[in-house]
Structures are given as C-alpha cells and as structure tokens.
Structure 1
C-alpha cells in the first residue's frame, strides 16, 4: 500500500513539473511573439518617418534620412533572403556568416547616420556627407551582391530540377504512347477495297462462305476491330471525375 501511495505521489509531482515546464514554454513563446510584433511595428514607424524626412527636409538632413532608408531596406531584404534559403541550401551558411559581419558595419553606420540627423553644424555635416555616402553605397552593394547571388542560386537549382523533371515526363509520355513508335510489320498493307470479289447474280452468295471464315483476311479484320489495350480489371476512378447521375425512375 505504501508503495502504491509513493508511486502516485511521484506521478503527481512529475505531472506538476511537466505542467509548469509547459506553462513556462508557452509564456516564453508568447513573449517572443509580442517582442517580434513590437519590433516589426517599430521598424515600420521608423521607415515611414525616414521616408517622410527624405522628402520634407532639404539638404544634408534629407539625404541622411534617404541613406538610412536605403541601408535598412537593403540589409533587411538580404537577411530575409539568406535566412529563407539556408533552410534548403546548407552552402548558404558561409554567406550568412559574411552577412553577419557586414551587419556589424551596417549597424555602426546606421547609428552614425542617426546621430548626425540632429547635428546643428550643417557645414561640418556637409563636409562629412560624401564619406558617409560612399560607405553606405559600399555596404548596400555588398548586401545586394549576397542577396542576388543567393536568389540566382535558388533559381538555377529550380531550373535544373524542372529540366530533369520535364525530361522524365517526356520519356514516360513516349512509353505510354508506345504504339506510335512501333514499326509496321513487313508485307502488311491495308486493303483499298473489299476483299470479297463480287459474283454474278445467281452464281452464289456475295458474302464469304463458312470455309473462308478462318482465312487470313478474316483474322486480319478481327485484329483490326480488337481494342488496342484490354483493361485487366475495373477502371480506377479519380477525385476530379464527375459521378454519373442516377437514371430517372419516372
């Protein structure tokens, strides 16, 4: 009895621990989902703000906002493309590692551009703008190069797979139409007229006699009327076929 009580107590403790673990995991997943939603909303607001500044503010301030917007858009698109492709292509791990190193430069550049947006010395800002523009273009070009290389690689794999599949389908289609490629037997020609000669009236019936039923002409006619493929069992039905309507009893 004591052993049964001990086992039940152990099971109860085990269920409590598992339930607590499940609750913690669910709370963590919900928290991560909320964080992703907040981050996405913040990014959207910042992008709209930068787009408005690039049109509304003239001079260096507007160009800084435009550079930040281009940088963020390119880096985010490359990150999404690499993360989506590495799940199917293991060779993209090295490209992803290079992008992470590039991201460090991108974050540093974005922080510097953001600080300079509030720089009161417009003359000093105009002097630094060419160098910032060159750095931004280099980072964007590197990100675009990685992204388009990954996309081209995925497209090439898809094209190769489609070519191989098309070739296999052509072979299968040819095998299904085997009768179109079989050579005609030598010496066999199709008759151009009725094989039975006409007889004068009163000299006998115009139809072949019973003794001629087993002649080569008769067997050839039977072969021509025989179906090319005889099904070995009931024909299969497919989900896209319509069911026949029942006959009306009225």
Structure 2
C-alpha cells in the first residue's frame, strides 16, 4: 500500500523481494489497479483492509472483491494484516478478507493491541498449500514461542475472559477517541477514527514542521503521515500528523490532550 508500516517493507526487502506501491484513497487501497499476472505483474499484495494503516480507511466491498478476483485470476497471494480489528467503534465489525477465499489469503493477527506489545504473540491463518513452507520458515527464525503464553491466551479465549476484556478496552478507547476529536474540533480535520487506536490530524498548509517541533518540545511522540509513505509512491503532499491515543496512562491522558492542543497550529 502507498502508505504503510516500514517494518513490512523492510521484512520483504530482507527476503529479497521488491515492492511497488498501491495507491490509497478514502476507500482504502486501489485494488482494482493491481498489476497483471504473476511474473509479469505482482505475486502478492499486502493489505490492511479492515483499517488501512495509517489512513484509517476501510476497504470497500467492491475493492475487496477486486482483490480476491485478482488473486484467483493470477494465482497471486493476499497477505491480510488485521492489526487492530478488535477495536471498531462505528458500525458493525468488518469481516476478514480471508473469509472470501481461504485458499488465496494469508490472515495475520496480533495480541499487541488487545493485550500488550511486550507479549510478542501473533497468529497466521494460512492456506493449506502454504502451511509446510510457513512452518519451516518460522522454525528457522522463531522456533521457541512460549508454550506457557500460548496456553494462557488459549484459556483466556476459551473462558470468554478475552472477549470481556476486549469489550471493556473498546469502551475505554472509544471514550478516548471521542475526547480527542472533541478537543481538536475546530482546529484541525480528523480522519481514520472509525476503528483502531490512532487518528490522522490534517493540518493547514505550511504548518506541519512547526507542529512537529512543538510536539517534540511537549514530549509528544507524534509522526507526520509522510513518514509512512512508500518511497516509490507518487503521493500528493499531505500535511498531517498520526496521533495514537492508546499509550498514555489514564492519569496522564488529560495532560496529554492539553500538550497536543498546545502543539497544534
């Protein structure tokens, strides 16, 4: 995707793969523009369809269908990163793309957002035809995943405690999102807030650099939207900040909002 995590691009580059950007707009990645058959076009596409990172758009049904049609017609693979699908606040949950074609989609999930990043636990739902290769690749890089952590998470899910925990966290984060939107209302435009733990604040032209300097002075860890741009993406310059609202402890949340307002133009 034209905007995305550099960790994804770095991992693919280290595996010897070349990536090309797929344009992103208010309806998510432009999957109708996926290039040609495997070999001449692309062999795989990495998407964040439930909540595009970092713009926050949800992939529309038409574009979901276009992605699956591309994979079926070309033999390509879709890698679906559902990094924060538990936290959707407006409307019904967005179904996984993997459900449309389990043979062509690799589904990735993580406990980093719902539990803690330090747990270092994620999961993959892999097409049967790729399973042996994925298991072998994991064994070469990470064969010591904690059995205790896995069994604890399994019991957490089986007992229903995980679901109760996520519901409670969803209410807490929705409250924070609403407070953030209310605080910046009239100052900047906010987008990408239907789900997840971050928002995109669009700034008046020519103010981004000053806002970043002021945020650093306020000890706020915010980054420009351009930080997440694919280096080859022909993106129009968009002055905006990506602001996370999941990290500050409750005791510091009010002060964090005050500091953010002081940093904005």
Settle same-fold status: TM greater than 0.5.
no
Q: TM-score, normalised by structure 2?
A: 0.17
Larger RCO (alpha carbons 8 Å, 6+ apart)? 2
Please identify which structure carries the higher helix content.
1
Please identify which structure carries the higher strand content.
2
Q: TM-score, normalised by structure 1?
A: 0.18
